A and B are shown apart, each in its own frame.
Chain A
């Protein structure tokens, strides 16, 4: 179903009553105005008829109209309409004038009647006026075409309808723009929500919202609060679960290492070696899940000033031991540079990059950790001269649980996803490129200042 437009709805509601009011208003104004005007025109016709009546003479050969030519012209003169007349004798016989003019039906011959009829294919207004001819009463019919009457009706109609139509038009315009203006606060509200980062679950500031939108803002804030609470609960659960895993894993690791230190028959040693590797992987996975939980929005600590050089130096010991264990040369090119962020998360991100670089380097490989700023933007990066990541895979390796097909080793595919998640949380970007000379891989986290 298409979204209902509030405007269209309002207009649909408003238009029929406005149209009805217009018609009703027109009728109410029209009839009181048209009646006196019609009467005045009729009266003029009656006057003509009365004047004509004074020229009807009774003679021996019957009745006749003795109308001087000058009078005839005066009587018939009209700027808009054509005037016709006809004189009838007391018995209804034709005396003079236009013979085809119809008489009123069923009216006493001596009555003064005004009526509409049609003559020579035109609609005409007629009056029948009684006139004295000798001792009898003759009848004079005067007709005129209806041009000026129609024009008058049109003028009256127009002048009564125009204000109504103007008001109706104004109403529609006001509704059209008024709805837009009235919905302005809602538009601003949606802009504010749109501009938010996905993890921003803070309540919306209700202070600036108009009264009518308060229930909406309240409902939204209620929902945001519930989502935030659910997210916190989930993170707490994940963190607790990972924490609970760590102690037994430490015990498992201790005992497998102890057992491996003792003399063992070959097959048993091989099996135990597998158990040991699995233990280490599980431990790392638990740590990575914890890191992901911490990187979730809402779980982040408050941002503080972090020097990337100090951060890298602080963890260098552990990394160097990892590198030595795999016979990889780990080097540093560190320049002090400050960013705002969560030191624990940033350390996790950098540690993941270093871990990956060491893990996928061949023996005798080189890994270099760099911090500093390029083009005014702080960065931390790790470069290796290992097998590298094919260009087509560079986006996908940042996804959770994705591993480049055919990759040796036992990674979970979470490391780079954690790096990206942490970077995004800090408004930073992760880019993967070729290492120096097109060999290996260079992963860079670039911060915005």
Chain B
């Protein structure tokens, strides 16, 4: 994937570049907002990591120009905002302007790489018929699942629950939101029923190293695939 880092602090920018390059991405770095806007309008990036506290043209302005850009690709590129500020207004402002996620400095690198992966996956999933999670592949058009290339039998409800969880890897999905997403046809689903579906999914996926974590009293979280 091709990533653009817009960060004026040289050590942080070089650290981010090396970490993301180690993840297998092609990374460009600029310290100037104007250059970022220009680059994004001329070339295609899969993700922009944007610092808010830039000299001259600040990150908000860069974000605004990207989002109002006539070039379609710049308008749709996911943006992960980095900020040293943390006032609520900053977050809301950034998300209002169309940032896809934000992180407050300083942050642990595993968290950054996880968010980057999530954003890239989401942008790939948009319109993409295939969802890939480690050894698991979901073909959403044919509604067929494969585990280690072997066909995987999933009941309709199990499929629906898994699809919800795959949409939010590493994030907690509450039982209520699963029920809302799954029980779309006026039928009555109890939280207990969701537990049954999750437990069936676990018995099918855990042998392949895919883990669904229970968050007591809240919901479930599909963990990042870390290998078997």
Known: A243-B84, A246-B84, A247-B12. A316 touches B105 (CB 8 A): no
Name the residue of chain A whose CB is nearest to the CB of B18: A258
Minimum C-beta distance from A272 to chain B (A): 14
**Chain A residues, CB < 8 A from B170:** 317, 321
Known: A251-B12, A255-B11. A313 touches B109 (CB 8 A): no
Per the bound structure, the CA–CA distance linking A185 and B217 in Å amounts to: 57
**Chain A residues, CB < 8 A from B22:** 258, 261
- The reply to whether B106 and A283 form a contact with Cβ atoms under 8 Å apart is yes
| B147 contacts partner chain A, Cβ-Cβ < 8 Å | no
Interface of B (DSSP majority class): mixed
Interface of A (DSSP majority class): helix
Minimum C-beta distance from B26 to chain A (A): 18
**Chain A residues, CB < 8 A from B221:** 317, 320
Quick one: which of A229-264 are within 8 Å of B by CB? 243-244, 246-255, 257-258, 261
Size of the A side of the interface (Cβ < 8 Å), in residues, is 35
| A344 contacts partner chain B, Cβ-Cβ < 8 Å | yes
Minimum C-beta distance from B99 to chain A (A): 17
| A41 contacts partner chain B, Cβ-Cβ < 8 Å | no
Size of the B side of the interface (Cβ < 8 Å), in residues, is 34
- The reply to whether B11 and A252 form a contact with Cβ atoms under 8 Å apart is yes
Name the residue of chain A whose CB is nearest to the CB of B104: A246
Quick one: which of A330-370 are within 8 Å of B by CB? 330-334, 343-344, 368
| A18 contacts partner chain B, Cβ-Cβ < 8 Å | no
Which of A250, A283, A332 contacts B218 (CB under 8 A)? A332
Name the residue of chain B whose CB is nearest to the CB of A347: B88
Per the bound structure, the CA–CA distance linking A249 and B109 in Å amounts to: 12
Minimum C-beta distance from B84 to chain A (A): 4
Q: List 24 A-B contacts (CB under 8 A).
A: A244-B84, A246-B84, A246-B104, A247-B51, A247-B53, A248-B9, A248-B11, A250-B12, A250-B105, A250-B107, A251-B15, A253-B106, A258-B22, A261-B22, A316-B172, A316-B218, A317-B170, A317-B172, A320-B213, A324-B213, A331-B215, A331-B217, A332-B217, A368-B217
Q: Which B residues contact A (CB, under 8 angstroms)?
A: 9, 11-12, 15-16, 18-19, 22, 51, 53, 82, 84-88, 104-111, 170-172, 174, 213, 215-218, 221
Q: Which A residues contact B (CB, under 8 angstroms)?
A: 243-244, 246-255, 257-258, 261, 279-280, 283, 290, 301, 313, 316-317, 320-321, 324, 329-334, 343-344, 368
